[in-house]
Structure 1
Amino acid sequence: MSEQTNSDSESDVDLDVPDLDTSSDDSADEDMQTFYEQAIPMFAKDHGFDPEACTNEPVTISDFTDTQCWLNFRFKKGDLYRLKRAVAVPACMKTSQGHKFTGEEGLLVMLNRLAYPSRLSDLAGKFRRRPERLSELFRAMTDWFVERHDSFMLRESKLLEQLEEYFSDKDVVFLIYGDPAYPVSEYLITGYKGINLTADQKLLNKFMSSCREAVEWAFGKVLQYQAYLDFKKNLKILLSPVSTQYKAGVLVTNMHTCLYGCTSSRYFDCDPPTLEEYCAL
């Protein structure tokens, strides 16, 4: 019974692999072309996409309805145009392999890929690209997205310098309360550590812990709206740029908050910045 099953299984996937004639380069090329013409449709069928649908014609926001935009990209259709302008997506981009794509197409692929842990073959028909091209495109777009905003937000914000400039001579000083991992400075503090804390120190820790907890709700929103980042099989260190992908997901989530708010902003009764203000930081 076992032998019969194996035989049937092999016959289902058997390909007429050519015996290549290395004496003639032209003959070998023709044989390999024949082999790929057989192999690709079978691979495509097994992985759920139609190669003929992969025309490489770039998709645009206008190709999707309002409902499709919200379900696929987590943004309303009109806001996708706004997002494209705010992040200054270039008209044309290129993967590490030299394949060109439009910035708008790259933005849509990145948003859809982050929103769901779908197989690339499941996205092939939607974006009219083969899975391997979508993989290149996703990586190129996340690299560009994170690199641009890392430089703008981390280097250019100079938040502590601004606090020192505006409040050093004032009677009232504003402090930033951070995670214990942050280095303590004149304008950035963390909770008190140790076992011999005073009553006031314990009270401050207790009061501020509720604020920290509210801020950490944002981490939950990242995984709620960027479900790809919660699918561990996709996130393999040394096999994929996990850090870059997570940063891209956080940035996209922050932009979503700028447009639609979040639990933390409502808890603190503090409106988030506009999308344009956030992207200009």
Structure 2
Amino acid sequence: MENALLLSLSTTNVDALQLLYLARGVPPERPFIPAIRFKLDIQSDVNCKSDFRFDRATIYALTLHFALPEYVVTRNRDKVHCTEALCILLYRLSYPRRNLDLSSKFGRAEGPISRIFSHMIVYLYDRYNTLIYFHKSLCRRSIATYASAVEARSAPMPNVFGFIDGTKIAISRTSSRRGHRENLQKQVYSGHKRVHCLTYQSVVVPDGLAIHFWGPIEGKRHDVTLLYESKLVKFFETQDDIFRGYALYGDPAYPIQQYIVSGYKGASLSALEKILNARMSSVRESVEWKFAHLKSYWAFIDYKNFGLVPPPFAEYLKA
């Protein structure tokens, strides 16, 4: 009689089975967590590069560069050695893995795995968010070298030191229900790409480094809007001693202004204008390669089932 009542109250066979287990005092079966402890020392460099994108020596060096304490402690008092915490971060970012997948790798339950990962994301973002917006000290030292490198590639503009572009990263379709997120689905939909997405902006210099990264904004927004919202030109104005006489190059969609130049646009370009566009375009491809490399090496950020909020997707990308 008791079992029949529980079955009638359940909505699915799974619910019924769980209710019967509870009624009989039998705990439900949980995922198996191997009784192991992660040790970076026993990992081969080949496996480290596959799983974490760096060899062992580089991972140890990163713990020093990131100024990680010997033991990382989360708000929930999860305690983990800094090398393991960093490996949890790298392992998850390298591919769209579930917390359960990380449990099998690191011998920890899903809850602590999730909290350690989030703690590392927030720690690195808080520590480096100013540097992520723009690497001013690097640019101060190398801006002349960057401009010379661009000119050496047969570029007809001797004052260009970097290349600016935007990219759209797909997310899952958001809810269209009314309320404080009304029309959010429409806001993040890109008619050009025909996908729900977020838009980010980056500046790449000739040595392949991304010295500026900003975003996101709604996927329907144009790269010019992204430039305006990022206040990058205003930042250059406040640092005129560094950027005076230099400029970033973007595709013809960008308006020409102080610190920003772009190619010629229109259907009736002269032969000289076409040559200029072709030469600058061949050099500008570096910024597009940077986005491709980012999505290739850290495939977690290009996971199409990402929602808008939560998780803190922008922090994942910038970390």
Smaller-chain TM-score range? Answer: 0.5 to 0.7
Give the 3-state SS of the residue equivalent to 1:16 in structure 2: helix
Instruction: Find the partner of 2:164 among 173, 179, 184.
Output: 179
Residues 54 and 130, structure 1, Cα contact 8 Å, conserved in 2: no
Q: CA RMSD in A?
A: 3.6
2:176 match: none
Instruction: Find the partner of 1:222 among 294, 299, 302.
Output: 294
Residues 144 and 161, structure 2, Cα contact 8 Å, conserved in 1: no
- Structure 1 unaligned residues grouped into runs of 5+: 20-33, 167-171, 249-281
Residues 54 and 125, structure 1, Cα contact 8 Å, conserved in 2: no
Instruction: Find the partner of 2:100 among 101, 106, 121.
Output: 121
1:136 match: 115
Are residues 66 and 173 of structure 1, via their aligned partners in 2, closer, same or farther at CA, if it must alter by over 3 Å? closer
**In structure 2, how many angstroms separate the alpha carbons of the residues matched to 1:221 and 1:193?**
28
1:84 match: 63
Are residues 7 and 175 of structure 1, via their aligned partners in 2, closer, same or farther at CA, if it must alter by over 3 Å? closer
In the alignment, does 2:80 pair up with 1:101? yes
Give the 3-state SS of the residue equivalent to 2:72 in structure 1: strand
Are residues 208 and 173 of structure 1, via their aligned partners in 2, closer, same or farther at CA, if it must alter by over 3 Å? closer
Q: TM-score normalised to the size of structure 2?
A: 0.55
- Structure 2 unaligned residues grouped into runs of 5+: 1-6, 146-156, 166-226, 237-242, 250-261
Shift of 1:8: 6.3
**Higher strand content, 1 or 2:** 2
**In structure 2, how many angstroms separate the alpha carbons of the residues matched to 1:157 and 1:15?**
63
The letter of the residue matching 1:17 is L
Are residues 15 and 116 of structure 1, via their aligned partners in 2, closer, same or farther at CA, if it must alter by over 3 Å? farther
Q: Write out per-residue CA displacement over residues 4-55 of structure 1, whole angstroms, 9 at most, x where no aligned residue.
A: xx98656654443369xxxxxxxxxxxxxx77xx13xx132xxxx33xx367
Q: TM-score normalised to the size of structure 1?
A: 0.62
1:43 match: 30
**In structure 2, how many angstroms separate the alpha carbons of the residues matched to 1:164 and 1:112?**
34
**In structure 2, how many angstroms separate the alpha carbons of the residues matched to 1:159 and 1:65?**
34
In the alignment, does 2:294 pair up with 1:242? no
Greater alpha carbon shift after TM alignment, 173-182 vs 218-227: 173-182
1:111 match: 90
Shift of 1:147: 2.7
- Percent of counterpart pairs with the same letter? 25
1:277 match: none
Between Structure 1 and Structure 2, how many residues are aligned?
213
